[in-house]
Amino acid sequence: MKDHLVIFDTTLRDGEQSPGASMTKEEKIRIAKQLEKLQVDVIEAGFPAASQGDFESVQAVASVVKDSTICGLARAVENDIVRAGEAIKAANSGRIHTFIATSPIHMEKKLRMSPDEVVERAVWAVKRARDFTDNVEFSPEDAGRSDLDFLCRVIEAVIDAGATTINIPDTVGYNVPHQFGQLFKNLLEKIPNSDKAIFSAHCHNDLGLAVANSLAAVRNGARQIECTINGLGERAGNTALEEVVMAVKTRQDIFDVDTRVNTREILAASRLVSSVTGFAVQPNKAIVGANAFAHESGIHQDGVLKHRETYEIMRAEDVGWNANKMVMGKHSGRNAFKTRLQELGMEFETEQELNEAFMRFKDLADRKHEIYDEDLQALVTDNNTQRVENEIYQLVSLKASSETGESPQAEVTMSVNGDEVSALASGSGVVDATFKAIESMVNSGATLQLYSVSNVTDGTDSMGDTAVRLEKGGRIVNGQGADTDIVTSSAKAYINALNKLMDSTQKAHPQAPV
């Protein structure tokens, strides 16, 4: 019998901490439903004390997801723990994840607390969290740079206080595999009550080692991995869920653990997270990149055709490639549309929203003959992103022209707080002209940090999924837009980012000093 490896997904919490990846409640619910389909064991749905919006998102996820444990993050302070406890109340199974830093540099420079005070606070936090749930996780933040004896002392104390999972974060991605593996071995051997808790690895990818470090931890006794879809996360990101899960599944000869993940849902999860956050997946990304299973060279193709395993260690269909290819078209009815969206985990709160989405679908079907699941996903994401609460700017119409030898031009009409305004601009290309026209009306003063368009499906009639990242005064936001016309999708993405920039909601960062 293999041990069960708990898959703890933190796309909605640590993943959301990537600059510009912040998600609305509806987006979090959609992703959480897909994570439930993927059968992850635990979904860290957010940091409820960050803002009222974050609290409500965790609460909403806790009430819709039934088959995964819902976790809320809390610093080791009263307000955070109470907020997390309240947010997970509706969950079938709820967990509070509380943490405090234990490395000398964090204790001295960030917390300004002595090691004794840190131990005392950690124990207090775990006991307080136990008032809300008996499923309590504790993390000694920056464990990867903490003193081993001190870590042992803190962990022994929090297990005695009632922590059931001990998560070991390599917060700054400093560790290397043999060292991180050894850390788990040491902790499990040295801590007298280590058998009373599950040990977990939480790795960041600053040196590109997050997955390798996580797997080294598993080889040395870790029985939970914290990870995100597509490795989303601050800086270089977190451990990629799809990579650890497939490594464990593919190399059953060396891992004495197994997960309950339904790997066929991996690609759908990857696409959903990418389209909601605007963080594109690089083509050569393991498992979910467009080239992950593509064989270019004749020798490889020949080998794969003769016997698949000559060059393939995994089956593309096992991670969801070539699945969900159900085609819809202009003759598909409202009911078929609604049913397929439900199967894809997308539901509408009101009939009116469904009707609007159906009209957009019909409009798309007039322009594109075959509509795949990816198109439906892009259509709904686009619909949601164009509905940012209290949005100030909306695209009304766009006319763009380009001609060899002439300067490309764009005329954009927008609604600004309900009033229509138009502007004409020229640029180096039609997209540049469109952005200049928009800027001439809004004068945002933001800097464009990223602009990318990816095709949702194959073919030149594909929808273009556009991501725009804007920065202003240190604040970074991502905007998305989707349309078969990439100039329109670009304008939508730019306007979506502007609306997010105007939203003044302040969020606390969990790792900032209290």
Distances from the Cα of 20 to the Cα of 448, 459, 500, 505, angstroms: 12, 30, 9, 14
15, 278, 481, 510: residue in contact with ligand KIV (rule CB under 6 A):
510
How far apart CA 401 and CA 485 sit, in angstroms, is 13
Q: What is the DSSP letter of 293?
A: T
How far apart CA 318 and CA 316 sit, in angstroms, is 5
- Taking the complex as a whole, the smallest distance from the CB of residue 139 to Zn ion amounts, in Å, to 9
> What residue 99 binds from Zn ion, ligand KIV, none (CB within 5 to 8 A, per partner kind)?
ligand KIV
> What residue 22 binds from ligand KIV, Zn ion, none (CB within 5 to 8 A, per partner kind)?
none
Pick the closer one to Zn ion by CB: 163 or 395: 163
Other C-beta atoms closer than 10 Å to the C-beta of 218 total 23
- CB–CB of 93/135 below 8 Å? yes
Strand 464-472 to 475-483 pairing: antiparallel
Could you tell me the sign of the dihedral formed by the alpha carbons of 204, 208, 213, 214, in that order? positive
- Taking the complex as a whole, the smallest distance from the CB of residue 308 to ligand KIV amounts, in Å, to 39
Q: What is the DSSP letter of 2?
A: P
Judge whether 202 is annotated as a binding position: yes
How far apart CA 352 and CA 336 sit, in angstroms, is 17
Judge whether 14 is annotated as a binding position: yes
- Taking the complex as a whole, the smallest distance from the CB of residue 234 to ligand KIV amounts, in Å, to 8
Pick the closer one to Zn ion by CB: 58 or 470: 58
Judge whether 499 is annotated as a binding position: no
> What residue 54 binds from Zn ion, ligand KIV, none (CB within 5 to 8 A, per partner kind)?
none
Closest CA to 66 of 104, 33, 98, 38: 33
- Taking the complex as a whole, the smallest distance from the CB of residue 205 to Zn ion amounts, in Å, to 10
Q: For the packed helices 25-37 and 373-385, what is the interaxial angle rounded to 10 degrees? A: 150
Tokens representing residue 26 in the block: 């509806």
102, 139, 220, 409: residue in contact with ligand KIV (rule CB under 6 A):
139
Pick the closer one to ligand KIV by CB: 427 or 510: 510
- CB–CB of 222/184 below 8 Å? yes
Judge whether 238 is annotated as a binding position: yes
Pick the closer one to Zn ion by CB: 10 or 270: 10
How far apart CA 245 and CA 241 sit, in angstroms, is 6
Q: Find the binding residues for ligand KIV in span 211-250 (CB under 6 A).
A: none
Pick the closer one to ligand KIV by CB: 26 or 226: 226
Binding mask 142-181 for ligand KIV (x = CB under 6 A): ---------------------------x-x----------
Pick the closer one to ligand KIV by CB: 85 or 169: 169
- Taking the complex as a whole, the smallest distance from the CB of residue 278 to ligand KIV amounts, in Å, to 22
Could you give the dihedral angle defined by the CA atoms of residues 254, 258, 262 and 265, in that order, rounded to the nearest 10 degrees?
Answer: -40
Half-sphere exposure in the Cβ direction for 431 (13 Å, CA): 15
- Taking the complex as a whole, the smallest distance from the CB of residue 511 to Zn ion amounts, in Å, to 8
- The CA radius of gyration of the chain, in Å to the nearest whole number, is 24
Q: Return the residue matching tokens 């304008």.
A: 491
Pick the closer one to Zn ion by CB: 14 or 156: 14
- Taking the complex as a whole, the smallest distance from the CB of residue 49 to Zn ion amounts, in Å, to 16
Binding mask 188-227 for Zn ion (x = CB under 5 A): ----------------------------------------
7, 8, 11, 14: residue in contact with Zn ion (rule CB under 5 A):
14
8, 55, 99, 372: residue in contact with ligand KIV (rule CB under 6 A):
99
Could you tell me the sign of the dihedral formed by the alpha carbons of 230, 233, 235, 239, in that order? negative
> What residue 510 binds from Zn ion, ligand KIV, none (CB within 5 to 8 A, per partner kind)?
ligand KIV
Q: Find the binding residues for ligand KIV in span 9-28 (CB under 6 A).
A: 14
- Taking the complex as a whole, the smallest distance from the CB of residue 312 to Zn ion amounts, in Å, to 33
Binding residue count for Zn ion, defined by CB under 5 A? 1
Cβ contacts of 16 within 8 Å, gap of 6 or more: 22, 23, 46
Closest CA to 14 of 303, 243, 236, 312: 236
Q: What is the DSSP letter of 141?
A: E
Which residues make up each annotated binding site?
A: 14, 202, 204, 238
Where does this chain bind ligand KIV (CB under 6 A)? 14, 99, 139, 141, 169, 171, 202, 204, 510
Which residues make up each annotated binding site for Mn(2+)?
A: 14, 202, 204, 238
Where does this chain bind Zn ion (CB under 5 A)? 14
